[in-house]
Amino acid sequence: MIRLDRVSKSFNGLPVFSGLSLMVHPGEVVGLVGPSGAGKTTLLRLIAGLTRPDSGIVTTAGSRLSYVFQEARLLPWRTALENVVVALRAAGFNQADARNEARLWLKRVGLAQFADYYPAQLSGGMQQRVALARAFAVHPDVLLLDEPFSHLDDGHKQELRDILRRLIRETGVTVVYVTHALPELDGLASSILYLSGGGLVHNLVRREDVVIPTPAGINTAS
Ligand SMILES: Nc1ncnc2c1ncn2[C@@H]1O[C@H](COP(=O)(O)OP(=O)(O)OP(=O)(O)O)[C@@H](O)[C@H]1O
Ligand SMILES: [Mg+2]
C-alpha cells in the first residue's frame, strides 16, 4: 500500500505538489501522465523515499520497492544473469537460490539464451527486459515505472508492453506507472492521474480516495 498524506514539495520556491493526498491499494495499477516538468518523477521519488516532502507524510508500510527507469541502468561489467543476481543477493537470497531465480526471470522475459551476455552485447529493448527481470525477481510489493519504454523503437515497445502487462497481471504487484503513451495503460490502470504542473493534480479516472486540493489563487479545470 502507498499512502501520501497532504504532501507538499517545492524546488526553489516553485511548488511541484501542494497538499496532495493519495492512496494506492495493494494490487492496484495507477497511471501517471502529464507534461514534462509536471512532477511525475518527483512523485515516484517521493514514494521511493529518494526525495523528502517539505511537509506531509509518505507511507509505504514496509513494502519492498522496485524502480524501473527510462534507461535500463544495468551494471556494464556484469552479465544479464549477474545483474539480476546482484539484486536478489541484496534482497537476501543466497547465491544458489539467486542464480536459479535469476535464470527463471530471464526466461520469463524471453532472455534465457542471453543470460551470459554483457549489457553492451544486448539491444536497448533486451537491456530493458533484463531491468524488468531484475525488478520483478525480488518479489516487490510495489513497482515504480518511470517511462520504461520511451527510449525504445515501436517494435520493441509493443513487445515490452506485452511482457510487462503479463508480469503485472501474474504477480498482482502494486504499480505506479509513468508514461507519455496512454495506450500503455489501456486495460491495466485502475486509475489515471494527470499532473499538470504547479502542484495541480487531476483525476482522469475518478476515485474517491484521491484528494485534490485547489491551491489558493489558481483555478483548476478538472
Ligand atoms: N533535484 C531537483 N532540483 C531542482 N528542481 C527539481 C529537482 N527535481 C525536479 N525538479 C523540478 O521539479 C519539477 C518536476 O520535475 P519532474 O522531474 O518530477 O518532472 P516530470 O513530470 O518527471 O518530467 P519529465 O516528463 O520531463 O520526466 C520540474 O520543474 C523540475 O525542474
Ligand atoms: Mg520524469
The whole-model pTM stands at 0.91
Closest CA to 54 of 128, 3, 4: 4
Q: What is the mean pLDDT of the chain?
A: 89
Atom in ligand 1 nearest the alpha carbon of residue 180 = 25
Q: Is residue 111 within 6 Å of ligand 1 at its C-beta?
A: no
Cell numbers for 179, please give them. 508514461
In the sheet with 2-11, reading across from the earlier edge strand, the strands are 14-24, 2-11, 55-59
Please give the pLDDT value at position 99. Answer: 98
In the numeric block, which cell numbers belong to residue 87? 539484486
- CA-nearest residue for atom 4, ligand 1, is 11
Select the more confidently predicted residue: 198 or 170.
Answer: 170
**pLDDT score of 2 more than 70:** yes
Number of Cβ within 10 Å of residue 137's Cβ equals 23
What are the tens digits of pLDDT across the range 104-123? Answer: 999 999 999 999 999 999 99
Q: Exposed, middle or buried by CB within 10 Å (0-12, 13-18, 19+), for 113?
A: exposed
| pLDDT (0 to 100) of residue 169 | 93
The pLDDT-based confidence of 188 (bands split at 50, 70, 90) is confident
Q: Is the beta carbon of 16 within 6 A of some atom in ligand 1?
A: yes
Count of residues in the chain: 222
Give the domain ranges of the chain.
1-63+142-222, 76-140
- CATH 3.20.20.10 matches 1-63+142-222: no
The reported pLDDT for the residue numbered 222 is 40
pLDDT greater than 90 at residue 201: no
**DSSP code, position 199:** B
CA 28 to ligand 2 center in whole angstroms: 21
Tell me: pLDDT of 93 over 80. yes
Cβ-contact 104, 68 below 8 angstroms: no
Reported as a pLDDT band with limits 50, 70 and 90, residue 211 is: low
The answer, yes or no, to whether any atom of ligand 1 lies below 6 A from the CB of 41, is: yes
User: Atom 1 of ligand 1 has which residue's CA nearest to it?
Assistant: 11
pLDDT of 40-75, one tens digit each? 999 999 999 999 999 999 999 888 999 999 999 999
Does ligand 1 have an atom closer than 6 angstroms to the CB of 42? yes
Are 119 and 83 in contact by the 8 Å Cβ rule? The answer is yes
Comparison of pLDDT for 220 and 185, the residue scoring more: 185
Q: Helix or strand or coil: residue 196?
A: strand
Residue whose Cα lies nearest atom 5 of ligand 1: it is 11
Point out the ligand nearest to the CA of residue 50.
1
Mean of pLDDT values over 25-42:
92
d(CA 191, CA 31): 6
pLDDT at 66: 96
Whole-number Å distance, alpha carbon 193 to ligand 2 midpoint, is 14
Average pLDDT over residues 193-204: 76
222 three-state secondary structure = coil
Please write down the long-range contacts of 11-18, taking CB distance under 8 Å and 24 or more positions apart: 14/198, 15/198, 15/199, 15/215, 16/42, 16/199, 17/42, 17/43, 17/46, 17/53, 17/199, 17/201, 18/199, 18/213, 18/215
- By most ligand atoms within 8 Å of CB, the mutation choice from 7, 20, 41 for ligand 1 is 41
76 against 192, higher pLDDT: 76
- Choose among 65, 67, 28: nearest CA to 139: 65
SS3 36: coil
